[in-house]
Structure 1
Amino acid sequence: MTHIAQSWKALLVTAALTLPSLAFAADPAMMKDGMMVDQKGMTLYTFDKDKEGQSMCTGECATMWPPLMAPMDAKPTGKWMPIKRDDGTMQWAYEGKPMYGYKMDTKPGDTAGDGKGGFWHMYRH
């Protein structure tokens, strides 16, 4: 292998190892037009049945209401903290409230989950 090819391979390996950690260097979500949205602009929701720092939405619930996932090595950032789900994965919580998307929201700005079942609410600031 030539020196240039080896250097290129080393650069690609370094980028592959570094980029995932950089993806969560900033807050995992943001406020837009008074509501919390993820990095893709999709509305985030809270679930009234959750306990402080603990998700109660598992199984089929988590399929319909996908958790805002955090990497396994996530660290708290500002008002965001990673919480461990029952299945061992990590989820982001804002001010102790686990955050979720809604499967029926198909584009940024959709809010079809707000008020669903009387337990789901957009996170508003």
Structure 2
Amino acid sequence: MKTLIVSVGLLAATAFSAFAAEPAKMVDTKMGKVLADAKGMTLYTFDKDTMGKSNCDAACLKKWPAFHAAAKAKAEGEWSLVKAADGKEMWAYEGKPLYTFTGDKKPGDMTGDGVGGVWHVAK
């Protein structure tokens, strides 16, 4: 009986973790589906990043804040964690670190797309 209870508990824990919320969501925009944070702010990728590594330095992060992960966040599926220049963990989607843009003032803004030819909405 004790084994059965432990097994059911493990099964339930596994099932609930499979339904853990993803760190960002896909939203419909005039540019098609793009990634946005929980507040609806557009997420961006930086062409100068390498797979699984952020190359946005401290000065860059002032204009392009890292999409930070919660303290106990766990990578899963196409979502991974990388270190930002500020030393904190940030989310990456399919190996590409994600950022917001200080020029975006409200959910749905995408004013950072194409900046410097190296910033793009994350899709």
What interval of TM-score do these two structures reach, taking the shorter chain for normalisation? 0.7 to 0.9
Distance in 1, matches of 2:64 and 2:86, equals 15
CA positional deviation for 1:38: 0.5
Q: Which residue of 2 aligns with 1:83?
A: 82
Distance in 2, matches of 1:49 and 1:114, equals 15
Count of aligned residue pairs for this structure pair: 100
**Runs of 5+ consecutive residues of structure 1 not aligned to the other structure:** 1-24
Distance in 2, matches of 1:114 and 1:47, equals 10
**Runs of 5+ consecutive residues of structure 2 not aligned to the other structure:** 1-19
Q: Which residue of 2 aligns with 1:29?
A: 24
The two structures have a TM-score, normalised by structure 1, of 0.75
For the aligned residue pairs, the C-alpha RMSD in angstroms reads: 1.2
Q: Which residue of 1 aligns with 2:103?
A: 104
The 3 A distance-change label for structure 1 pair 66 and 86 is closer
- The structure 1 segments of at least 4 consecutive aligned residues displaced by more than 6 Å after TM superposition are none
Q: Write the deviation string for residues 10-54 of structure 1: whole angstroms up to 9, x where unpaired.
A: xxxxxxxxxxxxxxx411101001011011000000000001011
The two structures have a TM-score, normalised by structure 2, of 0.77
Distance in 1, matches of 2:86 and 2:34, equals 28
Q: Which residue of 1 aligns with 2:9?
A: none
Distance in 1, matches of 2:76 and 2:106, equals 27
Alignment of 1:42 onto 2:44: no
Q: Which residue of 1 aligns with 2:56?
A: 57
Letter in 2 for 1:76: A
| Percentage of pairs with the same residue | 52
Letter in 2 for 1:50: D
Distance in 1, matches of 2:105 and 2:84, equals 25
CA positional deviation for 1:85: 2.5
CA positional deviation for 1:60: 1.5
